[in-house]
Amino acid sequence: MSLTVAERKATAKAWVNCGKERLKVIVHVGTNCLKDSQELAKHAEEIGAFAIAALTPSYHKPENEDCLVEYMAQLAAVAPNTPFYYYDINFATGVYINCSKFLKLAKERIPTLCGLKHSSREMPSAHGCTLVEEGKYQVLFGTDVQYLSCLVLGMSEVVAAPVLGNLFHNIKKAFDNGDLETARSLQCKAQRLNEIKEKHGGGINIAKSMFTILSGLEMGSVRLPLRGLTPDEKKRLETDLETAGFLDLAKPK
């Protein structure tokens, strides 16, 4: 959300080009300006993105589900050949809507609607979305510490912090094999990682530094108004991750 429209286009194009025949790239096009979002959506379709997703404007907020559907319908319409996901993350946007109601209202207005990314923390809300239209819509759940709970409720698709790919792969494998003891143990590791992040502040600046430490890929700093970590802060974070045995967590397997 700190990138310009031009930067977001360049980033999207780079991901799509690098991901050809390997990744299904979903490009996020949400902004606080409908015109900017439409421009990003058109561009995503032009470059061959697998799908687009958009969170709601968060300064001037939609007052109810009807307003949100109208906004998303106008946004999705400019990319008529690209699947569309609504991205709900209410604790970040301040927009608390009934996601199931949104899906029911949107089914006739947004022909390309195929699901939503449910990054809000209310598990019953996410589960309820899987029941709309007899499971017609895909629910991508985005809360790292609840993945095993999602699997139990039949929600297998997850949007996780990038450092958790290996761990979540193993949770899913253990769950599918009926090995709940291993799955629970691995979910506890994800919880422990989240606790370390929260200990050091819990923000995007912490998450970005954790990604650099655990992946070995230098990601650079954050942009204002977010604050980058000092060398001492980063060292303390790295020490906690090392003590917890996480330094190889995100390495290629």
- Residues in contact with 67: Cβ distance below 8 Å, sequence separation at least 6, in sequence order: none
Is 87 known to be catalytic? Answer: yes
- Catalytic-role residue among 85, 87, 137, 147: 87
**Which of 174, 157, 216 minimizes the C-alpha distance to 24?**
157
Single-letter code of the amino acid located at 149: S
Burial group, residue 121, by CB count within 10 angstroms (0-12, 13-18, 19+): middle
- Catalytic-role residue among 117, 137, 147, 197: 117
159 labeled binding residue? yes
Quote the CA–CA distance of 142 and 69 in Å, as a whole number. 21
State the Rg of the chain over Cα: 19
| Cα first-last separation, the chain | 31
Let me know: does 68 contact 30? Beta carbons within 8 Å: no
Q: What is the DSSP letter of 228?
A: P
Is 117 known to be catalytic? Answer: yes
Indicate the annotated binding residues for pyruvate: 159
Instruction: Please list the active-site residues.
Output: 87, 117
